[in-house]
Amino acid sequence: MFFSSWQDLFVVVISPSMNTMLLAALNQIKDTSLLLSEDYQDKKQFKKAIEMVLTPQKIIKGTLSIKDVNGKKKTFQAFRIQHNDARGPFKGGIRFHPNVCEDEVRALATLMSLKCAVAGIPYGGGKGGVVVDPGELTKDELKSLSIEYAKLITPHIGEWRDVPAPDVNTNGEIMSWMLEAYEKKVGYQSPGTFTGKPLELGGSLGRTEATGQGGVYVLEAYAKAKKLNIKASTVAVQGFGNVGLYFAKLASELGFSVVAVSDSSSGIYNPKGLDIKAIISYKEKGGAFKDYPLMKGTKLISNEELLELPVTVLVPAALENAITKENMEKISVQVVLEMANGPTTTEADTYLHEKGVDVIPDILSNSGGVTVSYFEWVQNLSGYYWSKERVNDELKVTITKAFTDIDKIKKEKNISYRRAANYISLKRIIDAMILRGRV
Ligand code: NAD
Q: pLDDT digits over 365-398, tens only?
A: 999 999 999 999 999 999 999 999 999 999 999 9
Sheet with strand 58-67: strands edge to edge: 58-67, 73-84, 125-131, 90-97, 162-166
Above 90 in pLDDT, residue 17? no
Residue nearest to atom 4 of ligand 1 (CA): 241
The whole-number pLDDT of residue 19 equals 84
Burial of 395 (0-12, 13-18, 19+ CB in 10 A): buried
Residue nearest to atom 14 of ligand 1 (CA): 264
Tell me if 266 CB under 6 Å of ligand 1: no
The whole-number pLDDT of residue 16 equals 72
Give mean pLDDT, residues 67-72: 93
How much of the chain, in percent, has pLDDT values that exceed 90?
A: 92
Give mean pLDDT, residues 90-94: 98
Confidence band of 2 (pLDDT split at 50, 70, 90): very low
Distance from the alpha carbon of residue 191 to the mean position of ligand 1, in angstroms: 27
3-class DSSP state of 150? helix
Confidence band of 101 (pLDDT split at 50, 70, 90): very high
3-class DSSP state of 260? strand
In 10 A of CB 256, how many CB atoms? 27
C-beta of residue 187 within 8 angstroms of C-beta of residue 339: no
Above 80 in pLDDT, residue 301? yes
The whole-number pLDDT of residue 145 equals 98
The secondary structure element, H or E, covering residue 224 is helix 210-225
Above 90 in pLDDT, residue 11? no
Task: Name the β-bridge partners of 74.
Answer: 66
Q: What pLDDT, in 10s, does the model give residues 40-52?
A: 999 999 999 999 9
Above 90 in pLDDT, residue 7? no
Distance from the alpha carbon of residue 367 to the mean position of ligand 1, in angstroms: 14
Above 70 in pLDDT, residue 417? yes
The alpha carbon of 113 is separated from its chain's Cα centroid by a whole number of angstroms, namely 11
Single out the catalytic residue among 30, 127, 197, 249.
127
Distance from the alpha carbon of residue 162 to the mean position of ligand 1, in angstroms: 25
How much of the chain, in percent, has pLDDT values that exceed 70?
A: 97
Distance from the alpha carbon of residue 171 to the mean position of ligand 1, in angstroms: 14
Above 50 in pLDDT, residue 201? yes
Confidence band of 1 (pLDDT split at 50, 70, 90): very low
Confidence band of 12 (pLDDT split at 50, 70, 90): low
Tell me if 318 CB under 6 Å of ligand 1: yes
Give mean pLDDT, residues 408-415: 96
Above 70 in pLDDT, residue 128? yes
Give mean pLDDT, residues 272-286: 97
Tell me if 239 CB under 6 Å of ligand 1: yes
Give mean pLDDT, residues 306-321: 96
Give the list of residues 6+ apart from residue 345 with CB closer than 8 angstroms, or none. Answer: 321, 323, 324, 325
**Rg for the chain, CA atoms, rounded:** 22
Above 60 in pLDDT, residue 8? no
Tell me if 256 CB under 6 Å of ligand 1: no
Residue nearest to atom 15 of ligand 1 (CA): 264
Above 70 in pLDDT, residue 36? yes
d(CA 228, CA 233): 8
Q: Clarify whether 127 is annotated catalytic.
A: yes
Residues in the chain, total: 439
- Mutate which of 95, 204, 211, 373 to test ligand 1's pocket (most atoms within 8 Å of Cβ)? 211
